[in-house]
Amino acid sequence: MATATATDFSSIPDNKGCSGYDYEFIDGEPRDQLKCSICHLVLRDPHQVTCCSNRFCKSCLDQLQGKNCPLCREPINDNYFRDGGINREIISLKVYCTNSEEGCEWQGTINETDTSIDTHLNSCPYQLVPCTNGCGEKIRKSSLKTHLTNNCPKRIVNCQICKRKGTHQLITSRSHLDECPDLPIQCSNEGCNEKMLRRSLASHNETCPKAIIPCEYNTVGCDERMKREEQEKHNEESTKVHLQMTKKQLQVTTETLKAALEKKHPLIASNEVFKLSQFAEKKESNGIWQSPGFYTLQGGYKMELHVCPNGYKEAKGTHVSCSIGLMAGEYDDTLEWPFRGEVTVELLNQLEDKNHKKETVSFNETTRDEPRQRVREGKSSRGLGIFKFISHEQLEYNPATNCQYLKDDSLYFRVSVKVTSKTKPWLVGASGIQKLNKENR
């Protein structure tokens, strides 16, 4: 066996991560023979090496596997054994609680008795424990209940304004306050001092006398914008101009429709808006609501919108279903069958003119014949549409998008049609064009 002339500590790891006992001992610092030669703390699970008879913590030895003894430089391998005698002496050493500086007066032995420090720390009120809500903080066990109830940022609370439930961190954040539907908000229109709940702000803006709105005749060319309260005065002062604009627009529309009929271009129907009332009652009864019949345009196909508030088939109970059906119309003899085109159905956001729910149904060569064929008087058409048009949850108010489809127990649908079928111009003739012009005057 080689004899080391000096101890080489370069291969000895530092104390970090070692498992010796680091306590304050009641009877003073233990003798050196009870300390690990690697971590220099009181031995935990002491093992003695056979090469130089020095003792080390078992976990400290495990870090030296495949290396030489740090004291005598002999290979260690498995040449060590557990020192039970030394271990009995160590575990009977009396220590103070590790939380003594925080006020704990407990005293006991290291372990293996009812008064061991491990047993005590499980119930020590001064012991630091992680927050059970997962906020990342460590709190004295005696203060944990208070922390969870009053201080934890992840404790569950209700918003004092809208009563929404969430973590304290979320409910008190800027993001929640920016969308809380019951937070009092002052109208943003200059000159209006009214305050209302955020959920009512959009509705208020629809009637606010100080809101800036376009002229009612903007669709015919008037670009004026004014406060709502000034609208009536503007109309009175601009009556002559508005009439001229309206007349000009009617002339343009008439010419466009005439050209479309003559050149067989695809035609777009004027937007038709329908109101479905008593939504809750129709949903509860699983009924089907049908709109009044409407024409794609004068001289065009006649259609109707079907709505099932509680859904068809696989959408039943979870979605609103919509479909479009053909009806017997006045001009069917002059139209080409089967019908071809696209029908767009929009469920309108009742708070502002955006975020409408839109779906398009195509009647084309790949569509089965039945929904596209001519319907005779007294017969009904099998509709074509979308089972899962919109879920029931999406109908309610969404503060993030300022969107509300269901309001006052009513829905509003807008339908527009792009027709690609051709008319039979030799049957329509000049009389049909004259009738169209007359009705648009």
pLDDT one digit per residue (tens) for the chain, 441 residues: 333 333 333 333 343 445 799 899 999 999 999 999 889 999 999 999 999 999 999 999 888 877 888 899 988 888 889 999 999 999 999 999 989 988 999 999 988 666 788 888 888 999 999 999 999 999 998 889 999 999 999 999 998 888 888 888 888 888 888 888 888 989 989 999 999 988 888 889 889 999 999 999 998 899 999 999 999 999 999 999 999 998 888 887 777 666 655 554 444 557 889 999 999 999 999 989 999 999 988 788 999 999 999 998 899 999 999 999 999 999 899 899 999 999 999 999 999 999 999 999 999 888 887 788 898 887 777 789 999 999 999 999 998 899 999 999 999 999 999 998 877 777 765 344 444 444 444
CATH number, domain containing residue 358: 2.60.210.10
> Last residue of a domain, which of 123, 151, 186?
123
Report the pLDDT value the prediction gives residue 131, as an integer from 0 to 100: 93
Residue 427 within a domain: no
Q: Quick one: the chain helix, strand, coil %, rounded to 5?
A: 30, 25, 45
Structural domain that includes position 76: 1-123
DSSP string, 354-403: S--EEEEEEESTTS-SGGGS---TT--PPPEEEEEEEETGGGS-BTTTTB
Distance from C-alpha of 278 to C-alpha of 289, rounded to nearest angstrom? 10
Residue 109 within a domain: yes
Q: What angle do CA 26, 32, 33 make, to 5 degrees?
A: 110
> Last residue of a domain, which of 89, 123, 157?
123
The stretches of 228-373 forming alpha helices (DSSP H) are: 231-237, 239-263, 279-284
Q: What is the end-to-end Cα distance of the chain in Å, rounded?
A: 120
Report the pLDDT value the prediction gives residue 428, as an integer from 0 to 100: 62
Report the pLDDT value the prediction gives residue 252, as an integer from 0 to 100: 79
Number of neighbours of residue 211 by Cβ within 10 angstroms = 19
Residue 170 within a domain: no
Residue 221 within a domain: no
Q: Which of 86, 90, 122 is nearest to 21 (CA)?
A: 90
Residue 240 within a domain: no
Number of domains in the chain: 2
Residue 35 within a domain: yes
> Last residue of a domain, which of 75, 104, 123?
123
Residue 430 within a domain: no
Place of tokens 């009612």: 216
Report the pLDDT value the prediction gives residue 261, as an integer from 0 to 100: 56
Report the pLDDT value the prediction gives residue 351, as an integer from 0 to 100: 93
Which residue type is seen at 21? Y
Tell me whether the omega of the peptide bond preceding residue 125 falls within 30 degrees of 0, making it cis.
Answer: no
pTM above 0.85, yes or no: no
Residue 45 within a domain: yes
3 state SS of 52? coil
Report the pLDDT value the prediction gives residue 324, as an integer from 0 to 100: 94
